Structure 1
Amino acid sequence: MATVLFWEKPGCGTNARQIRALGSVGHQVIAKNLMTELWTTPTLLLFFGGSPIPSWFNPVAPRVTSGAVDPAAINAMDAIALMLEDRLLIRCPLIDAISLKCAGFDREPVLSLLGASPRRKLQGCTCTAALPPYKSE
């Protein structure tokens, strides 16, 4: 079984279900706080790989749903700069396991980690609007 580093938004019910799903198939999950992690451009970029820039964003982040940020109209460096400023924009969870990193719960390495276990609704944040905006200091 794998050790899974799991950056979550504290208090997110979906992240809690995701952690339980990984634990239920025997993985050791080390939960970390996405909002307080000291991210840098290079470390954050590692989680996005070659995925399209819009998929980097939390689709229910207040700045996305309000139209203040349009993930389809932004370049990679501007996207990362916005995410470093406002952590709610980052698609979560961020996962680091079995030498692979990803953003979201619907891609590798998550799919391999879960194997044939039942896949309930385990992607899509349900509580983002209740979280206060993160402001870097």
Structure 2
Amino acid sequence: MTDLVFYEKPGCIGNKQQKAILRRLGVSLEVRDILSENWTAESLRSFFGNKAVPAWFNESAPQVKSGEINTDHLNETEALRLMVDQPILIKRPLMIYQSLKQSGFTVGPVLDYLGVNLNDGQKVETCPMSDQPCETVP
């Protein structure tokens, strides 16, 4: 199967599990580091589709988790500026398959097209060591 571009945070346990699910389905991955990519507002915006701005954010990013950044009060321009400056804020993974893009390992155009069926009990967007959104666990 054609490569799926998968932007991850290196060391993220959740991203590791997500990649394993895709590989079991025969998907070949081109894995990239979300933190070292040279993002622009334009390059990021296409991953979020019609999701509300708060859904664009990594809920476990320190500034979001602490409340320093209140994602409910940001417009698109402000949100994209913050994410370009601090890629840790971006909801991961970001995925590209052919012309389809999406953020987060949840229902969306890429996973739908690939036929990925996520069970209700399957925790693939939360850290397997807690019930919190996935972050690297020491």
TM-score interval for Structure 1 and Structure 2 normalised by the shorter chain: 0.7 to 0.9
Runs ≥4 residues deviating over 6 A: none
Question: Does the aligned pair in 1 maintain the 2:4–2:29 contact within 8 Å?
Answer: yes
In the TM superposition, residue 118 of structure 1 has moved relative to its aligned partner by 6.0
Partner residue, 1:92 = 92
Normalised by the length of structure 2, the TM-score is 0.85
In the TM superposition, residue 44 of structure 1 has moved relative to its aligned partner by 0.6
Distance change in 2, residues 1:129/1:53 (3 Å): farther
Partner residue, 1:134 = none
Note the residue ranges of structure 1 that are not aligned, 5 or more in a row: 131-137
Partner residue, 1:67 = 67
User: What is the identity, as a one-letter code, of the residue corresponding to 1:110?
Assistant: L
In the TM superposition, residue 129 of structure 1 has moved relative to its aligned partner by 7.3
Question: Does the aligned pair in 2 maintain the 1:57–1:91 contact within 8 Å?
Answer: yes
SS where residue 109 of structure 2 aligns? coil
Partner residue, 2:129 = none
User: What is the identity, as a one-letter code, of the residue corresponding to 1:80?
Assistant: L
Report % sequence identity. Answer: 33
2:66 is equivalent to residue 58 of structure 1? no
Question: Does the aligned pair in 1 maintain the 2:13–2:137 contact within 8 Å?
Answer: no
Partner residue, 1:79 = 79
Computed over aligned residues only, the root mean square deviation of the Cα atoms, in angstroms, reads 1.9
Separation of aligned partners in 1, 2:84 and 2:136: 17
Note the residue ranges of structure 2 that are not aligned, 5 or more in a row: 127-132
SS where residue 44 of structure 2 aligns? helix
Question: Does the aligned pair in 2 maintain the 1:88–1:128 contact within 8 Å?
Answer: no
Normalised by the length of structure 1, the TM-score is 0.86
